[in-house]
Amino acid sequence: MINPLFAANLLDRPRKIVLMYHSVPTLSQQATQYDSTLAQFKQHLALLAQLNSQVVTLNTLMTTRDSQGLQIAITFDDGYLDNLTNALPALTEYQFPATLFMVTRAAPAVSQWSPNPKPLLSPQQLQKLDEQGWEIGGHTCHHLDLTRLSASQSQQQINNCKDDLEQQLGKAVNSFAYPFGRYQQHHEEQLAAAGFEYACTTRAGAVQPHTQPLTIPRITVFANDCAPTLLRKLTFISNKMSWFDVAGYYASRILKTKVAS
């Protein structure tokens, strides 16, 4: 059941929000703090449908003018196999597209950077998502922290990733997500030089008219985020939205009102 107070606050003005997911495992035991189980993910999609959200790819969200209501881009980082086996069927039920940021040269094809390594998509499996209308973007070749690399190394990770994806998909790739959300200004310049037009961070926020296309904010979805938590995150544009955080938000608003009066 949607909380009417939060739903009213959320829908009272147009909003563009990018959600960040990772793996979508079947069982909770398989989840890290950044994963949503398939059951949770289905609840999130049901919530977005109840809110009459316009779910689009990242490119569509960034290139369309502000529209009435809630516009959402669902993104997946890393390129997990369960994005195909679990997330795709759930999204297809609602006819929702998604955007996936792929690590192209992990060998073996598992998420070695994760405390719980999981299988990644093969080029053939990635192509299936592309054929289903998903937007495919880059996430470097080896999921390395760009801020710990030399300028030449980071440029190589960016360029080679783009080349890999364009050869696999036979089309231009223009979106990217920074591994671990870490980047510096010269990485934005390297992305632009490589031909990327959009890049996602892990900084919380909504997309605004002044949002820079190579530092797009996202709302992170964590393993313990139920549908009501996601609704609060969408309402307050925050990664951290327990009931304690909500109470603190309204308390601060009351104090500001009293001071102003």
Predicted confidence (pLDDT) per residue in 120-155, tens digit: 999 999 999 999 999 999 999 999 999 999 999 999
Token pair, residue 92, equals 């297809």
pLDDT confidence band for 261 (50 / 70 / 90): low
Whole-Å CA distances, 87 to 80, 150, 222: 10, 36, 15
Please give the pLDDT value at position 12. 57
Please give the pLDDT value at position 116. 87
SS3 196: coil
**pTM assigned to the model:** 0.90
CATH at residue 58: 3.20.20.370
Instruction: Give 209: exposed, middle or buried? Use CB within 10 Å, 0-12, 13-18, 19+.
Output: exposed
- Percent of the chain predicted with pLDDT > 90: 81
215 pLDDT above the threshold of 70 = yes
- pLDDT, one tens digit per residue, over 81-111 is 999 999 999 999 999 999 999 999 999 999 9
**What single-letter amino acid sits at 64?**
T
- pLDDT, one tens digit per residue, over 217-253 is 999 999 999 999 999 999 999 998 655 555 555 445 4
Q: What does pLDDT average to over the chain?
A: 91
SS3 172: coil
- pLDDT, one tens digit per residue, over 169-196 is 999 999 999 999 999 999 999 999 999 9
Please give the pLDDT value at position 251. 46
- Return d(Cα 135, Cα 58) in angstroms, integer: 7
- Percent of the chain predicted with pLDDT > 70: 86
SS3 158: helix
Whether 99 contacts 165, CB under 8 Å: no
Domain count, the chain: 1
- Return d(Cα 106, Cα 121) in angstroms, integer: 10
Q: Which residue has the higher pLDDT, 215 or 32?
A: 215
- Return d(Cα 159, Cα 193) in angstroms, integer: 9
- pLDDT, one tens digit per residue, over 38-74 is 999 999 999 999 999 999 999 999 999 866 789 999 9
Whole-Å CA distances, 4 to 44, 121, 227, 233: 17, 40, 14, 15
Whether 88 contacts 100, CB under 8 Å: no
Range of the domain at 63: 4-260
Please give the pLDDT value at position 259. 54
Quick count: other Cβ atoms within 10 Å of Cβ 224?
12
- Return d(Cα 79, Cα 137) in angstroms, integer: 10
Please give the pLDDT value at position 80. 98
Please give the pLDDT value at position 253. 45
Whether 41 contacts 94, CB under 8 Å: no
Please give the pLDDT value at position 30. 84
Mean pLDDT, range 161-167, rounded to an integer: 98
